[in-house]
């Protein structure tokens, strides 16, 4: 097991990364606490069963899998049931699943009785290298993705790489899109390794650690996303709009992939990016008129006084923030 510590003073926490960690959960957390597990109905039951067998009758919620579970209705129904079950503010909430579960469970933990402890057990590649780290939690409103939320750090993240074995190829590649993003904004060697050698069983562990270390440095320096942490949003302005316009039929990583392609047009690495995305069966274009996306981009919560902080990569491995007038986004569509 490798441990990476996120250092945020009293909000610091360890990220344990390894194989077979689910069955050691009783050595990592205090199992005598009241425990609530939030998971979804598609994740293979073996993971829930493994954890449950080590815990003392936890209260379990299985929400429908998919983005629609990041909703106020689900938040409200889980909170009501936690109250009816006499779950106190000393409880521990475990998010067992992908980014949807992490965002949802984290948000519930941030508001239940003004905040209770939670840990993340991410089970998708995307959630292991990205969403479980950094404390952004939240749900969607009817009109905007992630518009209701908070910054709320977990007490621990447990990454059991073995859980990726049951992930579909599409979901695995969806996570690879975020891995490519890390390469583009911060680590040229990761980009080249993915392009030239791909991911093997041996390198997967190392690449997961590399991505977490990149995210760690941005989060530690800018926890509330006011400055350089925004560089992690490379490809996301257009990506989020595609996700919403496609009603989430195009997955988060897939949408980011198209967003990165749009941002790379005319750059020297454009062809390499196309080859890399194609290698992982990731989409490189949105099959609809891109100007349709402007309405989503204009209402993006990151737009202030018509200024959008666009993330640009001119040289592989170096992302930077370029504030633009919102209307200039047309150049990238
Ligand atoms: N908070 C953040 O910083 C942050 C960052 C990036 C993305 N996100 C959010 O994360 C979400 C996307 O996360 P995701 O891609 O993990 O999606 P997801 O949570 O919907 O999981 C994808 C699918 O994989 C299934 N699954 C999960 N683990 C599995 C496993 N081990 N084996 C087989 N199937 C499994 C799930 O049931 C689901 O159907 C989006 O809502 C996005 O907004 C948040």
Beta carbon of 101 within 6 Å of any ligand 1 atom: yes
Ligand 1: distance of its center to the CA of 168 in Å? 12
Taking the alpha carbons of 281, 282, 288, 289 in that order, is the dihedral positive or negative? negative
Beta carbon of 91 within 6 Å of any ligand 1 atom: no
Paired residues of 312 in beta bridges: 320
Which residues neighbour 132 within 8 Å (Cβ) at sequence distance 6 or greater? 15, 95, 99, 102, 120, 122, 154, 157, 159
Pocket mutation for ligand 1, best pick of 126, 165, 232 (most atoms within 8 Å of C-beta): 126
Ligand 1 atom with the smallest distance to the CA of 163 is: 31
Paired residues of 313 in beta bridges: 319
Q: Are 63 and 104 in contact (CB under 8 A)?
A: yes
Q: Are 35 and 56 in contact (CB under 8 A)?
A: yes
CB under 8 A, 24+ apart: contacts of 264-269: 264/313, 265/332, 267/313, 267/314, 269/184, 269/191, 269/313, 269/316
Ligand 1 atom with the smallest distance to the CA of 101 is: 19
**What distance in Å separates the CA atoms of residue 78 and residue 197, rounded to the nearest whole number?**
44
Return the closest-CA partner of residue 83 out of 111, 107, 56, 113.
Answer: 113
Pocket mutation for ligand 1, best pick of 171, 178, 253 (most atoms within 8 Å of C-beta): 171
3-state secondary structure of 118: strand
**What distance in Å separates the CA atoms of residue 96 and residue 287, rounded to the nearest whole number?**
34
Which helix (H) or strand (E) segment holds residue 276: the answer is: helix 270-279
Ligand 1 atom with the smallest distance to the CA of 178 is: 6
Q: What is the pLDDT of residue 143?
A: 82
Taking the chain (333 residues) in runs of 10, the rounded mean pLDDT of each run is: 97 98 97 97 98 96 96 98 98 98 98 98 98 97 90 98 98 98 98 96 96 98 95 96 94 97 97 98 94 88 88 97 94 91
Beta carbon of 52 within 6 Å of any ligand 1 atom: no
pTM recorded for the entire structure: 0.97
Beta carbon of 130 within 6 Å of any ligand 1 atom: yes
Rounded to 5, what percent of the chain is helix, strand, coil?
Answer: 50, 20, 30
Beta carbon of 67 within 6 Å of any ligand 1 atom: yes
Beta carbon of 163 within 6 Å of any ligand 1 atom: yes
Paired residues of 149 in beta bridges: 138
Q: What is the pLDDT of residue 184?
A: 98
């Amino acid at each position: 097991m490798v441990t990476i510590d996120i250092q945020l003073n009293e909000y610091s926490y360890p990220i344990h990364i390894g194989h077979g960690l689910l069955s050691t959960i009783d050595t990592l957390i205090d199992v005598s606490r009241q425990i609530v597990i939030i998971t979804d109905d598609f994740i293979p039951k073996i993971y829930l069963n493994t954890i449950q067998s080590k815990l003392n009758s936890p209260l379990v919620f299985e929400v429908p899998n998919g983005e629609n579970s990041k909703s106020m209705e689900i938040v409200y129904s889980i909170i009501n049931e936690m109250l009816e079950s006499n779950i106190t503010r000393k409880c521990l909430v475990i998010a067992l699943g992908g980014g949807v579960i992490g965002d949802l469970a984290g948000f519930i933990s941030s508001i239940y009785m003004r905040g209770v402890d939670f840990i993340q057990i991410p089970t998708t590649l995307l959630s292991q290298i990205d969403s479980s780290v950094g404390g952004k939690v939240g749900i969607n409103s009817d009109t905007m993705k992630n518009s209701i939320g908070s910054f709320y750090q977990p007490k621990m993240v447990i990454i059991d790489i073995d859980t990726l074995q049951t992930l579909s190829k599409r979901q695995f590649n969806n996570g690879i899109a975020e891995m490519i993003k890390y390469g583009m904004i911060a680590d040229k060697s990761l980009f080249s390794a993915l392009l030239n050698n791909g991911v093997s069983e041996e390198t997967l562990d190392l690449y997961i650690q590399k991505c977490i270390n990149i995210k760690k440095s941005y989060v530690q320096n800018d926890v509330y996303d006011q400055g350089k942490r925004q560089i992690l949003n490379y490809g996301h302005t257009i990506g989020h709009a595609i996700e919403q316009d496609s009603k989430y039929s195009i997955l988060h990583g897939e949408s980011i992939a198209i967003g990165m392609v749009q941002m790379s047009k005319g750059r020297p690495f454009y062809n390499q990016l196309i080859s890399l995305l194609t290698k992982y069966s990731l989409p490189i274009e949105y099959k609809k008129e891109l100007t349709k996306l402007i309405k989503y981009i204009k209402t993006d919560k990151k737009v202030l006084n018509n200024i959008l902080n666009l993330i640009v990569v001119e040289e592989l491995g170096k992302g930077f923030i370029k504030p633009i007038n919102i209307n200039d986004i047309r150049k990238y569509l």
